[in-house]
Amino acid sequence: EADIYQTPRYLVIGTGKKITLECSQTMGHDKMYWYQQDPGMELHLIHYSYGVNSTEKGDLSSESTVSRIRTEHFPLTLESARPSHTSQYLCASSGPNLAKNIQYFGAGTRLSVL
Amino acid sequence: GESVGLHLPTLSVQEGDNSIINCAYSNSASDYFIWYKQESGKGPQFIIDIRSNMDKRQGQRVTVLLNKTVKHLSLQIAATQPGDSAVYFCAERGINNQGGKLIFGQGTELSVKP
């Protein structure tokens, strides 16, 4: 069982609001990731981090931003939410063993922007 | 560019039968592959992985086969149970690794009939 937690699980907000999706892991993993997933579709990487103070944009362009001030915490922020941001956001982490790069996922945050 | 795709979006099997879920990948240089299971309302859960120097790996009721000649990956589930109903994703890691990034395929929804 992976120790990675996302809050909130569900969020319904109005257009223009600023939101932060939380992600924390207690496994001491150096690498963390954010994916966006529409229902029944594949996962698209939007941000990742190799460690503290490291953040990179993923393969799918996103208006969100991330920070990595602490190893265990990797929050994602949307400054001004829009209906096009409606989706599921999944956080994952992986350890230093690159021979077996298993990413462990949180339960996700399902975001609806009205 | 790199892509990972699944042949069939849905698969329906009878309880007790064996299931085979297929995946095609385009990057012949990928060195590591993972299968994930995603149940409704949950994040993806690791099932089994395989490195490119192997062609078969077995777990509990699951087997992954890798055919590098035709760039094909499959997941076999023995004696499929109702609890196996989920969406299954394959993912690959490119040879350049880039910090352990994975590329996910489209997903196959497995439905188990009692």
Does the distance separating the beta carbons of B44 and A105 come in below 8 Å? Answer: yes
How does pLDDT run across B7-61, given as a tens digit for each residue?
Answer: 458 999 999 999 999 999 878 888 899 999 999 989 999 999 999 999 999 999 9
Place of tokens 């990948």: B25
Q: What is the 3-state secondary structure (H, E, C) of A7-64?
A: ECCEEEECCCCCEEEEEEECCCCCEEEEEEECCCCCCEEEEEECCCCCCEECCCCCCC
* Binding-site residues on chain A for chain B (CB distance < 8 A): 6, 31, 33, 35, 40-45, 48, 50, 56, 58-59, 90, 92, 94, 98-108
Nearest-CA distance B74 → chain A (Å): 17
Q: What pLDDT, on the 0 to 100 scale, is given for residue A72?
A: 97
Strand partners, A93: A32, A104
How sure is the predictor about B5, in pLDDT bands with cuts at 50, 70 and 90? low
Number of structural domains in chain B: 1
Cis peptide before A8 (omega within 30 of 0): yes
Does the distance separating the beta carbons of B45 and A102 come in below 8 Å? Answer: no
* B108/A contact by beta carbon, under 8 A: no
Nearest-CA distance B104 → chain A (Å): 6
Q: Using CB atoms, pick whichever of A31, A43, A107 lies closest to residue B42.
A: A107
Q: What pLDDT, on the 0 to 100 scale, is given for residue A31?
A: 93
* Measured distance CA(A21)–CA(B12) in Å, rounded: 35
Structural domain boundaries enclosing B33: 4-113
In sign, the C-alpha dihedral spanning B103, A3, B77, B56 is positive
How does pLDDT run across B76-97, given as a tens digit for each residue?
Answer: 999 999 999 999 999 998 766 6
Domain ranges across chain A: 4-113
How sure is the predictor about B1, in pLDDT bands with cuts at 50, 70 and 90? very low
Say which DSSP state B82 is in.
Answer: G
Phi, psi of B82 (to 5 degrees): -55, -35
CATH number at residue B26: 2.60.40.10
CATH number assigned to the domain covering A4-113: 2.60.40.10
State mean pLDDT over B58-79.
96
Contacts of B44 in chain A (CB under 8 A): 43, 90, 105
Q: What pLDDT, on the 0 to 100 scale, is given for residue A2?
A: 64
Residue of B nearest to A91 (CA): B43
* Interface contacts (A, B; CB < 8 Å): 62
Say which DSSP state A73 is in.
Answer: B
pLDDT averaged per 10 residues in sequence order, chain A, 114 residues:
89 96 95 92 92 91 92 96 96 82 94 96
Phi, psi of A56 (to 5 degrees): -135, 150
Nearest-CA distance B105 → chain A (Å): 6
